[in-house]
Structure 1
């Protein structure tokens, strides 16, 4: 009997089983790197049945519930995986005033044909768990008009009935607490379908130029408990024709409300308990610049309309009005916010139903301690304003970077300034474009979309402010020197005529601009810094790579490297740089500090990789173009040792060797290194993608011979763009998300 063949067969079967079995789970504790805000909070809804209970929605970072005890916002949609990332954009949210535990979220980020339809997530426990109702149409939580609303509303007299206003498919109704929806055909298509009178399509925002239903309001006084409200209003984002429609028979028929303004679009409406309806209007659905706007009051009983605009926009100062709200306990007390007002938006206060107004923010006092970076950002995108039903002194308004709140609103009624503080504690809505954890010094430096990035001295406390100079509007990349961690370099889109590159020679404490830059117009691309910090290679997006050996005093075009080729520095030898042109099947190496590169075939063992289709961030089948996939990485502590984290798999090459594909990994979205495990010769490797058929965040401590999943189903955050371990602390990992900020994890003790 031959014992070798059976033994060999058993070993092969065991190896195959090991590769197909899901990786082991390693428990981690996850927390947010404190930035506070950083994205557009576009809606706030109080639950009137529970004092202090309030929810917020964001355009691409999920929804939040505020903890009534601590005041911090708790994320509700972190469980959404990459496959459901479209649901991270929350178009609208609603509560049932008679059921304190009911919550409804209308989710869907875009209306373009490439994304799935939207869904309504319904909860019976304030957002701790959800059931899902798929919709036969798309929603646009991150498109133009996303600050309008609310598009989703619960009948205050009958919680089984909800109305959902769509962008392209009219008005929908549920009679079973959002378990199903049917279109309201009684509202005529001509009311909400786009026509030529709606004006030209704006330049950005997907469906923002198309007619849509912008908000739904019930009149609670038109029904009794347990019976549907008979009067319902729908605001339609159109111009030149009726934009406010009303049903007085519980939705069975709809008619335009006569006499209303037709020159602007309705943005938000508020119905006061004394029978007056207030509507904010603007020339565009927002949140881009406005040309004009107004605020109007409708006396429902008489049908009389009154223009109560607080401040009239003009040709030299064009703007619109984004929101108007009523104090639930005082029907004549109002707040109205502007949109796109040059020099900073304003919040107006009225105590007489709009007969007179006073500006609040021009004389207000602001405390930015909870998010110091906002002190550099003017007030903008005040698309929702709310007064706490349980406290008339407490008001909140949203911004493009979170929001503000006051606890002395009525001080304005005594001709005193109001005091405002950042309300965004717990809300993290930034997009992390790059992560850098130096070998010594601060834990983390981040490159953030829409902002100047941050130097995080304490992960649990917000940074002292934006690093500058230069002051960036976007930070596209940040990196540093392996053996000289005090050297950190970042590139981005500058503000106020600054240069598009900045550097620090003291670990991020102070920053300076170089004397010159190779491409003053480009703000995108990638920067590489040699191990000793003396050579910087910058590849502008699609542009020619340049190298500087004198901290930017001069730059020289790199030879031998095609335009747009991303470069990485060797982590040991300061003279060596590496690059890969994945879709051209070429690899490149430099031994002269990045001045010149030599080429060789990449020759992956499973063949050449097809070039993805051109387009935006999500245009190809190789993940988000801003993510960490399809990139080359150099191993810490090992000269010439390279990893290629291709979207379709993981490859490794020793110094001068060919790349070999590593098993188990079938998809990558982010990749990085961290401190080695005690006793291990290999740095820890972190990967976001699919390993042995399972999607997640993974760690390997043995050079990718085996993997452990370190996140769980409650911590997925939709789309993840970047991951990096900390070279100073074994097990610590930073995760850069698309709309949920930066998360960090440590092994659970």
Structure 2
């Protein structure tokens, strides 16, 4: 009798977790690049081994032929700051050894990590100082360096803690005193470069103060007289010459003398590299410009050729005018003569012959997803996904989830916005869309509203929008695509009943939140009742029954929470869901007269409603947060939050500041999570589940 009882206990043990975990597969929605790539690194002894650093999307390694592999996706939401790429350093003697310095924001300590397997796994090194992968001069300098003669010796140039040195492979660090140095706050030691020919010789760029030299591997330093004080990048050639790009041009230091090599007078240059195959070959590019000039020299900078460039884009949506905008880095291939790499605000590129006129460049962004998401829509018909994106306007994902979309919203017709902040559709007519956006670079600021009747393939401007007003969120009335309400930054919400031809302030609501960098969703339309809208602010839920003209307070006993998310579901009249992050998830079935907390939810950072499971009429509910007994992660509920199953991937925690979540109304189980720098993830039930 004991064996059958043991077998029964084992079956119960193994079957219980199965009810709590549902097998899901996760991937990235293909867009291609979309963010600032601030550094390119090619190993001098391993052909095809290349790395990238980005300002807010982490680090990548080239697979050697066709695409990039994300290396830092293991960081959790609590470690979102580590997706900022402050620095990367290769060990010239060991192709498997790589170091990264991680930190987006100077207000939060960053961290240094080491990998012995080309970034497949990382170990923290215990150096936690402020780092700014998304801070000033992030496109310049190389702050981290490994001594080519001693792999145990590392130097790190910090923004606020001066120069730090390790002689034991990063296990311990000490501050190095540099006499009379002046370090600018927030930039500090911007660049470091070892000479690979002379043991102990290393250069340092104290931004705003000049170039320093050490002959004992960074223990003692002296300022080089006559050095440029606005230096951005350093490169030491195979013949021992030091090249410097700076705020007034390009300079060379050799045999104790400085020479001005500037291709253009009084012009700031940043991107810089010297060929490992020929120390006379140099590439430089002008600094932070929409009209970047790229120069090539074959004689050590004695003369320059301005490269005429052409883009053979591999992305159908990519605007050739964006190519080389704010170029950050250039790099020669150390094994293939004529081949070079270049990175800018949106992508990384390759050319097979940098001496050709014109030089033909091709996007090489496979695997890189670095967009910032403001909003998502997954309507009941038409495209599976429509995305509102920072800097790139937004996309209809008309080629599926695994192929780059064919165009941006404004790519072929209708208005183009630098940012689309929000979009909405009418569930009764899902191809009817409205979106709001604007251009941060405009002064005075000009927001806009656009509408589409074909699922976002084409757009037209929806009349004029009040000047100087940032539109943050929009909701379209059910059954009436000409009526919508818009939440504005620090202003009263607005409504229109004629498709945006005229606008009136809403009555009964407080001023809106501060934008444009705002991730909350305080506004939603009832998905059955044509004239009903809901709004949350400061612990109170408001409702309008006259199409958004007037709102009245209904529930005022909820916790106050910035960035709350308020949502409704098609076919569910009077049903409202509200997430308040650490204050949990709330549910109303009486048109917001009262709300009940979902007791099992400890944190509701994001949530979404999607197509019901087969045979059910209850919308599938998805949660990015914490559930009692299940911990933190991504979860699904098929019974309105009464029970939950985990659908997350612990190896892929989606940690780069997740800020949006939506679920498909076409395919049961399909859910999307947008981030602040790693694009959009999608999850779906694994095959056979």
Q: TM-score, normalised by structure 1?
A: 0.84
In the alignment, what sits opposite 1:217?
193
CA distance in 2, matches of 1:119, 1:645: 32
In the alignment, what sits opposite 2:202?
232
CA contact (8 A) 1:470 1:499 kept: no
1:7-59 per-position Cα deviation (integer Å, ceiling 9, x unaligned): xxxxxxxxxxxxxx999222221111111111111011111221111000011
State the secondary structure of the residue aligned to 2:319: helix
| Residue 181 of structure 2, aligned match among 191, 195, 206 | 191
| Residue 259 of structure 2, aligned match among 283, 306, 321 | 306
CA contact (8 A) 2:610 2:620 kept: yes
Across the aligned residues of Structure 1 and Structure 2, the Cα RMSD in angstroms comes to 2.0
State the secondary structure of the residue aligned to 2:79: helix
CA contact (8 A) 2:183 2:206 kept: no
In the alignment, what sits opposite 1:4?
none
In the alignment, what sits opposite 2:224?
257
| Residue 249 of structure 2, aligned match among 284, 291, 294 | 294
CA distance in 1, matches of 2:487, 2:447: 16
1:484-523 alignment, distance < 5 Å = 484-494=429-439, 500-517=448-465, 519-523=466-470
In the alignment, what sits opposite 2:523?
567
In the alignment, what sits opposite 2:586?
651
CA distance in 1, matches of 2:446, 2:523: 25
CA distance in 2, matches of 1:250, 1:93: 19
1:92-107 alignment, distance < 5 Å = 92-107=87-102
In the alignment, what sits opposite 1:591?
545
Deviation at 1:396, TM superposition (A): 1.2
In the alignment, what sits opposite 1:704?
641
In the alignment, what sits opposite 1:554?
502
Check if 1:640 corresponds to 2:574.
yes
Check if 1:359 corresponds to 2:291.
no
CA distance in 2, matches of 1:580, 1:33: 30
CA distance in 2, matches of 1:603, 1:472: 38
Deviation at 1:371, TM superposition (A): 5.4
Runs of 4+ in 1 over 4 A off after TM superposition: 495-499
CA contact (8 A) 2:609 2:619 kept: yes
In the alignment, what sits opposite 1:399?
344
Deviation at 1:376, TM superposition (A): 4.8
Check if 1:83 corresponds to 2:37.
no
1:98-128 per-position Cα deviation (integer Å, ceiling 9, x unaligned): 111111101112222xx2x221111111111
1:483-515 per-position Cα deviation (integer Å, ceiling 9, x unaligned): 111111111114789751111111111100012
CA contact (8 A) 2:544 2:551 kept: yes
Check if 1:726 corresponds to 2:647.
no
In the alignment, what sits opposite 1:344?
291
CA contact (8 A) 2:33 2:346 kept: yes
CA shift in 2, pair 1:328/1:509, >3 Å: same
CA contact (8 A) 1:106 1:118 kept: yes
CA distance in 1, matches of 2:337, 2:639: 59
| Residue 690 of structure 1, aligned match among 626, 632, 635 | 626
CA contact (8 A) 2:211 2:228 kept: no
State the secondary structure of the residue aligned to 2:355: helix
Unaligned runs of 5+ in 2: 1-16, 514-521
Check if 1:422 corresponds to 2:422.
no
Check if 1:73 corresponds to 2:68.
yes
CA distance in 2, matches of 1:170, 1:120: 15
In the alignment, what sits opposite 2:5?
none
CA shift in 2, pair 1:553/1:394, >3 Å: same
CA contact (8 A) 1:698 1:710 kept: yes
Deviation at 1:331, TM superposition (A): 0.6
CA distance in 2, matches of 1:348, 1:126: 32
CA contact (8 A) 2:67 2:367 kept: yes
Unaligned runs of 5+ in 1: 1-20, 195-206, 223-228, 283-292, 314-318, 611-621
CA shift in 2, pair 1:365/1:245, >3 Å: same
Deviation at 1:177, TM superposition (A): 1.6
Deviation at 1:389, TM superposition (A): 0.5
In the alignment, what sits opposite 1:47?
43
1:242-301 per-position Cα deviation (integer Å, ceiling 9, x unaligned): x11111123332111223234xx111111111121101002xxxxxxxxxx2100111xx
1:60-209 alignment, distance < 5 Å = 60-69=56-65, 71-112=66-107, 115=108, 117-185=109-177, 187-188=178-179, 190-194=180-184, 208=186
State the secondary structure of the residue aligned to 1:485: strand
Deviation at 1:720, TM superposition (A): 0.5
CA distance in 1, matches of 2:174, 2:464: 61
| Residue 475 of structure 2, aligned match among 495, 507, 528 | 528
Give the number of aligned pairs: 652
Q: Which moved more, 1:697-706 or 1:326-335?
A: 697-706
In the alignment, what sits opposite 2:679?
741
Q: Which moved more, 1:479-488 or 1:457-466?
A: 457-466
State the secondary structure of the residue aligned to 2:431: coil
CA distance in 1, matches of 2:467, 2:324: 28
In the alignment, what sits opposite 1:6?
none
CA contact (8 A) 1:482 1:530 kept: no
CA shift in 2, pair 1:80/1:136, >3 Å: closer
In the alignment, what sits opposite 2:331?
386
CA contact (8 A) 1:347 1:359 kept: yes
| Residue 437 of structure 1, aligned match among 373, 378, 400 | 378
State the secondary structure of the residue aligned to 1:508: coil
| Residue 653 of structure 2, aligned match among 705, 712, 716 | 716
Q: TM-score, normalised by structure 2?
A: 0.91
State the secondary structure of the residue aligned to 2:343: strand
Check if 1:673 corresponds to 2:669.
no
CA distance in 1, matches of 2:35, 2:221: 37
Deviation at 1:699, TM superposition (A): 1.3
CA contact (8 A) 2:26 2:649 kept: no
CA contact (8 A) 1:170 1:192 kept: no
Deviation at 1:598, TM superposition (A): 2.7
1:657-676 per-position Cα deviation (integer Å, ceiling 9, x unaligned): 51111112122221111111
CA distance in 2, matches of 1:601, 1:54: 56
Deviation at 1:340, TM superposition (A): 3.3
CA distance in 2, matches of 1:214, 1:352: 27
CA contact (8 A) 2:566 2:578 kept: yes
1:50-105 per-position Cα deviation (integer Å, ceiling 9, x unaligned): 11110000111110001113x21111111111111111111000111211111110
Deviation at 1:192, TM superposition (A): 3.9
CA contact (8 A) 1:22 1:692 kept: no
1:18-37 alignment, distance < 5 Å = 24-37=20-33
In the alignment, what sits opposite 2:10?
none
CA shift in 2, pair 1:147/1:499, >3 Å: closer
CA shift in 2, pair 1:387/1:180, >3 Å: same
Deviation at 1:374, TM superposition (A): 3.5
CA shift in 2, pair 1:499/1:660, >3 Å: closer
CA distance in 1, matches of 2:648, 2:316: 28
CA shift in 2, pair 1:102/1:371, >3 Å: farther
